[in-house]
Amino acid sequence: MKMSDEVKEVINNNIVHLATYSRDGKPNVVPVGLCRAISDHELLIVDVFFKKTRKNLEENPQVAIAVEALEELKAYQLKGEAKIFTQGEFYEKALEIMKEQDKVREERVSVWKEKRPEMVERFEKLVASHRKLRPKAAVLVDVEEIYSTMRRGD
């Protein structure tokens, strides 16, 4: 299913919530900051900390993703099938996404210095620790269904 530019923008600029399911249907939901729309029907999620999520993906590739941009009154649910890549083109793209996000985090430090100076040291430590991380895998999601979950005014 084709994602609109609006849906892609919301995904690319917000934390998404990834739901996976074990073989026996037990759900697991995790927030993911490294998810990008890479085509009109594909999302690439960077696996940095997945454990239960990864196990679930290996057992059952069906996923659901919820994302919202509340200040814009936009929210979506997407469903699709995931494939895991530990090398190759999609893994290399995951590395690029991580590097881009490192730059965004560093830019946010300057914003935090003005708005929340008491949090700057903690945020700087977090940014530094994230720079050392490497993806375990890239998860490619072929989007099959898209739903708006934000009720618009009548």
Tokens of 147: 């739903």
Asked if pLDDT for residue 132 goes beyond 90, the answer is no
Mean pLDDT of the chain: 90
pLDDT: which is higher, 129 or 31: 31
Cα separation, 10 vs 72, in Å, equals 9
pTM: 0.87
Instruction: Quote the CATH superfamily of domain 5-148.
Output: Electron Transport, Fmn-binding Protein; Chain A (2.30.110.10)
pLDDT at 147: 97
What is the arithmetic mean of pLDDT over 3-32?
Answer: 96
User: CA torsion angle for 148, 149, 150, 154 (degrees, to 10)?
Assistant: 80
- Reported confidence tier of residue 129, pLDDT bands at 50, 70, 90: confident
- Reported confidence tier of residue 154, pLDDT bands at 50, 70, 90: very low
What is the arithmetic mean of pLDDT over 33-42?
Answer: 97
Q: Which residues of 32-68 are buried (b: 16+ CB within 10 A; e: fewer)?
A: bebbbbbeeebbbbbbbebeebbebbeebbebbbbbb
* Structure confidence by residue, pLDDT tens digits, 64-97: 999 999 999 999 999 999 999 999 999 999 999 9
